[in-house]
Structure 1
Amino acid sequence: MLNTRLNLDRIRAARQVIDPSFLDTPLYECDALAGHLGCTVSIKLETANPVRSFKGRGTELVASLLADQGRSAVVCASAGNLGQALAWSGRRRGLDVTVVASRRAPTAKLDRIRALGAELELVEGDFDTAREQAATIARQRGIRLVEDSLDIETCEGAATIGLELATGTPTFDTVLIALGGGAMATGVGHVLKTLLPAVEVICVQPLGAPAMTRSWHERRVITTDSTDTIADGVAGRHPIPAVLDDLLQVADDAVLVQETSIIAGMRMLLEHAGLVVEPSAALGVAAVLEDPDRFAGRHVATILCGSNVDLDAYHRWVRR
């Protein structure tokens, strides 16, 4: 019995709350990738939805709960994808949404947050700076602060991906999950370790943003002074203790990959799968590229978690 904050019955019930456009996303074996990676590869495509990332699964739960409580406003910090998702879910339920983000966040993500009707406040510094400002706004206005990965709704919404993996047609023995704050890793990991305990759960993080991975290996919170990665969606410096506790229960390993491998993974997904993804979504492919012997002959599933990327930057990366 797993000792985490998550609950399988709540995760199953979440499917009744989440808008169907976020559910039952494509899951298929990609033969073209397999030929280049030396293992069978199944893709879980979390980009084919209104906000082009998995985050909408969690924000649907948050927004539904707030609407049921009669709340009218909410604020979050975001590297970009959570803000879009909360803006989308909040607008459907009449919530005033404020998103705090770094000025360095990808322009495409910031533009989309504005287009979805949220109030966008930009701060100097990184995501953790934005998180501090969002908390201040919540106190000053007396409104709900949504904290990705800490708020259980964000984890259990993401966990519905695990339900779909566990009941999907492809049978895999390893799943590779992008690791940032930990909502997707803990959510999907909880479901898989409950329903398919033999499946190996491997979390993948950039070498330039290693805080959660180092914390997992040390079994205690390790913070970093800065981050240096193109994978902005997973570039946190301060792991949340409760999330780390959950991750220690459900992850079999956590690995770090180099920027060159992330870019190579993005390029491979474009050339061999016809998919444009943001750097965080290529972390699983990057892990296979860096350690092919580990995965040789195995059936690997990887979650492509988002495709919100500035095209100019994307073209620079994939054309190298």
Structure 2
Amino acid sequence: MMDTAKNTQLDFDAAFARLNGVVKNTPLEYNAGLSEKYECEIYLKREDLQVVRSYKLRGAYNMISQLNEEQLSRGVVCASAGNHAQGVAFSCKKLGTKGVIFMPEITPKQKVKQTEMFGNGNVELVLTGDTFDDCLKEALAYTEAHNMTFIPPFDNYRVIEGQGTVGVEIMNDLPDVEAVIMPVGGGGLAAGAGSYFRQQKPDILLIGVEPEGAPSMVGAFENNGPVTLGTIDRFVDGAAVKRVGSLTYELCREVLDDMLLVPEGKVCTTILKLYNEDAIVVEPAGALSVAVLDLCKEQIKGKKVVCVISGGNNDIERMQEIKEKSLLYEGLKHYFIVRFPQRPGALKLFVNNVLGPGDDITRFEFIKKTSKENGPALVGIELKNAEDYPALLQRMEAHRFDVIEINRDQTLFEYLV
């Protein structure tokens, strides 16, 4: 493994100077609620307040600004799920070069529009493929065919160096920081900022966190090198990649003390809490560092801790999906196939005697259109407390309602809900 303290490929101070006046020195905010809950001092590094609402601008501008005139005249290409695209678009406008940006077809509309806005006529967008990895292949082929420069989202020393300036700012604002928690997608932020922290404070606790449905860095750690995951959950789109970078893996392996996984439902609960309690709008990847606190509370107890809020590009149209995933994860929402007894008043009995006083039917539809009176129905129920669920099942059984718990059958759930 490389000695990051002596790695001459990374000059974070030079990158910090290069980005001066281009990126915001984002706030480092003390969070009283989280600090009290986890018995430590927790600060949020607010990269959601960055110029393009994510840290990705740092790496993109740091690399593009070092291209020579000939390279800039030919233009640049990138592949991105959204935030890197916005960083590249902003950089293209700032530096007066053309950019062609490939994004997955499932990229939220908000991120597509923001990319167009930041590029302001300097970029062309190409939506292709279902994942970042799909559009990456197309972008690389286009780059070669048109003799342009590819701007990687994470696996490049100049990009890693730029992302590392997040660490420079944290150290400037909180020199006695003792632990830092960073989200991991391709690994650029954790590799860059982690390397800088390790140079400055060898004993600092560094924790990386990924979504449970896209454990690419965890998989790389377990296999002693990057691996390509067969399938991933794309929900945490800013951190959902099938394969981490070779450079980022080597650096993360060297500098991180731990790599943790967080369920997507827990991420959703965190998004809602940050919004409702702190008026902070984060995207799913931006919530990872806070969502993981329950899993590392013993490690951080009594320490000065920084959680990097990596981005705030969250499409308002996703909020209903986020709320739904949160309720399911918290055990507050359940779906059933209910076969009502063929006797008068069965539905009324279900509503009056099976549902608890705090329960609410959020969805009801008969599955078979030809037998609406006594056929099976899809029923969604939201509970006031997760602990009420066993009693609900007992009342269903006591009143002879035949039910199938859809939440326990992922295939059935995806098909019907």
- Normalised TM-score (structure 2): 0.72
Q: Give the aligned CA root-mean-square deviation in angstroms.
A: 2.1
Give 3-state SS (helix, strand or coil) of 2:50's partner.
coil
Tell me how far apart the structure 1 counterparts of residues 296 and 206 of structure 2 sit (CA, whole Å).
Answer: 16
User: Residues 281 and 252 from structure 1, CA distance in 2 versus in 1: closer, same or farther, beyond 3 angstroms?
Assistant: same
What's the CA shift string for 1:16-45, capped at 9, x where partnerless? 221525242111211122233443211111
Give 3-state SS (helix, strand or coil) of 1:75's partner.
strand
Q: Which of the numbers 155, 176, 185 marks the counterpart of 2:160? A: 155
Q: Is the 8 A contact 1:21 1:49 kept in 2?
A: no
Q: Is 1:97 matched with 2:105?
A: no
Tell me how far apart the structure 1 counterparts of residues 145 and 52 of structure 2 sit (CA, whole Å).
Answer: 29
Q: Is the 8 A contact 2:10 2:161 kept in 1?
A: no
How far apart are residue 227 of structure 1 and its match? 1.0
2:370 equivalent in structure 1: none
Tell me how far apart the structure 1 counterparts of residues 140 and 234 of structure 2 sit (CA, whole Å).
Answer: 25
What's the CA shift string for 1:240-283, capped at 9, x where partnerless? 22321111111111011111211122122212322100011111
Q: Is 1:205 matched with 2:210?
A: yes
1:60 equivalent in structure 2: 61
Q: Is 1:235 matched with 2:240?
A: yes
How far apart are residue 77 of structure 1 and its match? 0.3
Q: Is the 8 A contact 1:211 1:236 kept in 2?
A: yes
How far apart are residue 209 of structure 1 and its match? 0.3
Task: Give the residue type in structure 2 aligned to 1:156.
Answer: E
| Count of residue correspondences | 320
1:225 equivalent in structure 2: 230
How far apart are residue 216 of structure 1 and its match? 1.8
Q: Is the 8 A contact 2:24 2:51 kept in 1?
A: no
2:115 equivalent in structure 1: 113
1:287 equivalent in structure 2: 292
2:266 equivalent in structure 1: 261
Task: Give the residue type in structure 1 aligned to 2:88.
Answer: L
Could you tell me which runs of 5 or more consecutive residues in structure 1 were left unpaired when the two chains were aligned.
none
Q: Is the 8 A contact 1:87 1:97 kept in 2?
A: yes
Tell me how far apart the structure 1 counterparts of residues 11 and 152 of structure 2 sit (CA, whole Å).
Answer: 19
1:88 equivalent in structure 2: 90
Task: Give the residue type in structure 2 aligned to 1:138.
Answer: T
2:140 equivalent in structure 1: 135
Give 3-state SS (helix, strand or coil) of 2:17's partner.
coil
Q: Is 1:249 matched with 2:250?
A: no
Q: Is the 8 A contact 1:6 1:187 kept in 2?
A: no
Q: Is the 8 A contact 1:15 1:23 kept in 2?
A: no
User: Residues 204 and 163 from structure 1, CA distance in 2 versus in 1: closer, same or farther, beyond 3 angstroms?
Assistant: same
Using the TM superposition, name which of 248-257 and 68-77 deviates more.
68-77
Q: Is 1:50 matched with 2:70?
A: no
Using the TM superposition, name which of 228-237 and 264-273 deviates more.
264-273
2:193 equivalent in structure 1: 188
Tell me how far apart the structure 2 counterparts of residues 246 and 296 of structure 1 sit (CA, whole Å).
Answer: 26
2:3 equivalent in structure 1: 3
Structure whose alpha-carbon radius of gyration is higher: 2
User: Residues 6 and 148 from structure 1, CA distance in 2 versus in 1: closer, same or farther, beyond 3 angstroms?
Assistant: farther
Give 3-state SS (helix, strand or coil) of 2:49's partner.
coil
Matches within 5 A, 1:59-78: 59-66=60-67, 68-69=69-70, 71-72=72-73, 73-78=75-80
Using the TM superposition, name which of 263-272 and 230-239 deviates more.
263-272
- Normalised TM-score (structure 1): 0.93
Higher RCO, Cα 8 Å, sep 6+: 1
Using the TM superposition, name which of 254-263 and 28-37 deviates more.
28-37
Tell me how far apart the structure 1 counterparts of residues 141 and 311 of structure 2 sit (CA, whole Å).
Answer: 28
What's the CA shift string for 1:160-219, capped at 9, x where partnerless? 111112222363321110001111000010011110111111000001000112212332
User: Residues 234 and 62 from structure 1, CA distance in 2 versus in 1: closer, same or farther, beyond 3 angstroms?
Assistant: same
How far apart are residue 71 of structure 1 and its match? 2.1
How far apart are residue 68 of structure 1 and its match? 4.6
User: Residues 236 and 70 from structure 1, CA distance in 2 versus in 1: closer, same or farther, beyond 3 angstroms?
Assistant: closer
Q: Is the 8 A contact 1:54 1:158 kept in 2?
A: yes
User: Residues 225 and 9 from structure 1, CA distance in 2 versus in 1: closer, same or farther, beyond 3 angstroms?
Assistant: closer
